[in-house]
Amino acid sequence: MDIVYGTEDIIGLLAKAKRKSIVLSLVRLSIFFVMAAAFIVGITDRPIFLLVFLVSLAGFLYLILLFNQNRDKTDFLEELVKMEQEKTKRALRNLLGFDTGSEFMDKAHPFSSDLDLFGSHSLFQLLNHTVNKGGKAKLASWLLADIHEDMFMSRFGAVKELSQNPGFLSSFEATGRAFIKEEKSKMGFYNWLKKPENWLPINYLPLVIGPVGGSILLFLAAVGMIPPVWIGAWIVLGILSLTLVLKPLQEASKVFPNQGDIKTFGKWALLIENADFSDSFLHSLKAPIKNEGFTASKVLKSLEQKSFMLQNRINLMFVIFNLIFWIDFFLLWRAEIWRKKFGSHIAAWEELFDTWQVLVSLGTFTHEEQISAVPIWSKEKIIEVKNLKHPLIDKENAIGNDFSIDEDTKTVLLTGSNMSGKTTFMRTLGINMVMANIGLSPMADSFLLYPFQLFTSMRNSDNLGESVSSFYAELSRIKQLLSKAENGETVFYLLDEILKGTNTADRIMGSEALIRQLAASNCKGIISTHDIELSQLDKSLGYLMNRSFHSEIMDDKIHFDYKLKEGPCPSFNAHKLMELMGIRF
């Protein structure tokens, strides 16, 4: 499919394609009536009209082919229009209606629940351009993976190169959206591919006799050399013969993939085969699709045709042809040949296409957001970022911050007034670490970090069904972190409003104990708190650093600049917030 850039051009082509569909439908309907009339007259009165039937039938089938091609083009163009609309919504961070990926949410995961990776207004919604279950699952697995420098190194160049080819990205996504409708599990098909061959040597006889005998009888009847009743006898013989292949064909038709799935795979393969890539990872993903022996696009096109025929065997036109020419034998024979030659490749190609879907998603995001920062992975346990922004906040309102933590610093104590930006900043840092890990440029001017394993404790809620309080839930998360620390893992933690479920005295004492315990391990990270008393620890703990967010009260209103500052927060706003809400002191 050709891409025409510009929404107006696409809309114009779409209107033209729809008009063509109407014309083709009307012409096809007219020819159908001619074909039906010629068949009835040919059978009952004038056999010569059977030739008219055959000619009109050929024209009818050709029109079906043209109509299907035009319908595919129409579906493709409609998806391009929808994609442009969704692009605008994503730019505004209006993610309502996008797939949330909520099935991948996992409270027990080290960081996914706290960083808005899935759910409403999530990173998954922003990134996801996949079109089937396999692609979605692959994207989710990348987002949930432990941070590893090698994963980034293999993916970043591929994502960057794809982002510079918007035509490929649009074609790939629109193709999948246009043709993959209701997915059908392919496990039955993969099991069928492994079964013994169903073709018997005796089947070669009706394979040849069916089309030859049917053609001869139709010709003889058409020229009046034999009465039409002979065709009826031939059809009866065909019914008896076709029972030889009825069972294996029924079994195959039940498990063959949907035509739309295979059509998508074939068109994806052709797109990849025709594209030139310089990145080594893209080359490795292209190699199994285009090799010296055959190309995946041709193999999948052949499978699409077989799937279409198998799943339309109850169509009236097919039934007529089948009874006259015994086509079922040809279908089974070709299916068995295809299974023997290419069956072992399909599962591997599907897995490859899942990876391509994720890379197309990341490439599209990179292209639309025009992000270009290159993460640098440090050998030292440090983080240095400049103008770091949250990807889920629109560009007009996103405020960037600089942040660094050196080799000697173990804990950054983050203080600040309510709503000043502490939690958002911590999530900003965490979600950008995830983005870098999957091969994206972070939303920053520069991004230097050690490949820490990420761990968060932010959204710890109670669970009545499990009789778990929010405080116990937080302690359980901290226990997980301490276990990682005891195992020697190099973790970067983000702990929000630590131990908020207990009284002030116990909270301060417990927080100090936790800070000291974590400092003795390979872990480091950020702890936010409202307990300003903890900021005094920097005088006795050389590995603790204070950072804060501030607010100002002017004209009975609280103003925030959301900029990270050195040192502890000098003032808090809870008293003023309560007063503004009507609580009188």
Torsion of CA 225, 230, 235, 237, to 10 degrees: -120
Same domain, 398 and 361: no
Alpha carbons 123 and 168: distance in angstroms, whole number = 23
Residue type, 250: Q
Helix (H) or strand (E) segment spanning residue 553: strand 551-554
Alpha carbons 573 and 296: distance in angstroms, whole number = 64
290 versus 161: which is more confidently predicted? 161
Helix (H) or strand (E) segment spanning residue 387: strand 383-388
Cα 434 to chain centroid distance, Å, stands at: 17
SS3 44: helix
Q: Is the pLDDT of residue 571 over 80?
A: no
Backbone conformation region of residue 62, classed left if phi is above 0, alpha if psi is from -120 to 50, else beta? alpha
Question: Is 16 inside any structural domain?
Answer: no
Give the structural domain span for 292: 128-204+228-370
Give me the CATH number covering residue 387: 3.40.50.300
β-sheet bridge partners, residue 566: 547
**CB 56, CB 34: distance < 8 Å:** yes
Same domain, 363 and 391: no
Alpha carbons 512 and 176: distance in angstroms, whole number = 54
Domain boundary among 315, 342, 370: 370
**CB 421, CB 474: distance < 8 Å:** no
Mean pLDDT of the region 50-66 = 82
Q: Which of 183, 318, 192 lies closest to 259, judged by CA?
A: 183
Same domain, 341 and 403: no
pLDDT at 530: 85
Same domain, 266 and 346: yes
Alpha carbons 115 and 97: distance in angstroms, whole number = 20
pLDDT at 402: 97
pLDDT at 167: 93
Say which DSSP state 492 is in. Answer: E
SS3 for 72-109 is HHHHHHHHHHHHHHHHHHHHCCCCCCCCCCHHHCCCCC
Question: Is 80 inside any structural domain?
Answer: no
Same domain, 457 and 312: no
Alpha carbons 146 and 124: distance in angstroms, whole number = 17
**CB 226, CB 220: distance < 8 Å:** yes
Alpha carbons 350 and 289: distance in angstroms, whole number = 11
Same domain, 302 and 381: no
Alpha carbons 353 and 266: distance in angstroms, whole number = 10
Phi, psi of 247 (to 5 degrees): -65, -50
Lowest-confidence pick of 37-51, 351-365, 366-380, 489-503: 37-51
521 versus 316: which is more confidently predicted? 521
**CB 235, CB 213: distance < 8 Å:** no
The pLDDT tens digits of the residues spanning 278-334 come to 999 999 999 999 876 788 999 999 998 888 888 878 777 788 888 888 999 999 999
Alpha carbons 154 and 450: distance in angstroms, whole number = 17
Rg (CA), the chain: 33
Q: What angle do CA 316, 317, 319 make, to 5 degrees?
A: 65
Residue type, 40: I
Question: Is 199 inside any structural domain?
Answer: yes
Question: Is 539 inside any structural domain?
Answer: yes
Lowest-confidence pick of 68-77, 317-326, 546-555: 546-555
**CB 262, CB 346: distance < 8 Å:** no
Q: Is the pLDDT of residue 49 over 70?
A: yes
Average confidence score pLDDT of the chain: 88
Q: Is the pLDDT of residue 462 over 60?
A: no
Same domain, 445 and 501: yes
Say which DSSP state 468 is in. Answer: B
Same domain, 290 and 422: no
pLDDT at 429: 97
Q: Is the pLDDT of residue 575 over 60?
A: no
Predicted confidence band at 579 (pLDDT cuts at 50, 70, 90)? low
Same domain, 549 and 421: yes
Same domain, 526 and 396: yes
Using CB atoms within 10 A of its CB, is residue 517 exposed (0-12), middle (13-18) or buried (19+)? middle
Question: Is 142 inside any structural domain?
Answer: yes
Question: Is 91 inside any structural domain?
Answer: no
Neighbours of 486 (CB within 10 A): 11
Same domain, 428 and 451: yes
Alpha carbons 407 and 450: distance in angstroms, whole number = 10
**CB 445, CB 374: distance < 8 Å:** no
Domain boundary among 306, 337, 370: 370
Total domains, the chain = 2
Same domain, 364 and 428: no
The secondary structure of 363-428 as a DSSP string is HHHHHHHT-----EE-SSS-EEEEEE--TTS-TTT---EEEEE-SS--EEEEEE-TTSSHHHHHHH
pLDDT at 127: 97
The pLDDT tens digits of the residues spanning 128-157 come to 999 999 999 999 999 999 998 888 888 999
Mean pLDDT of the region 228-240 = 87
Residue type, 129: H
Report residue 554 as tokens: 């002017």
Predicted confidence band at 209 (pLDDT cuts at 50, 70, 90)? very high
pLDDT at 526: 97
Question: Is 214 inside any structural domain?
Answer: no
Question: Is 215 inside any structural domain?
Answer: no
Alpha carbons 494 and 251: distance in angstroms, whole number = 55
Predicted confidence band at 386 (pLDDT cuts at 50, 70, 90)? very high
β-sheet bridge partners, residue 446: 386
**CB 429, CB 403: distance < 8 Å:** yes
Dmax (CA) for the chain in angstroms is 112
Domain boundary among 353, 370, 387: 370
Lowest-confidence pick of 144-148, 197-201, 443-447, 545-549: 197-201
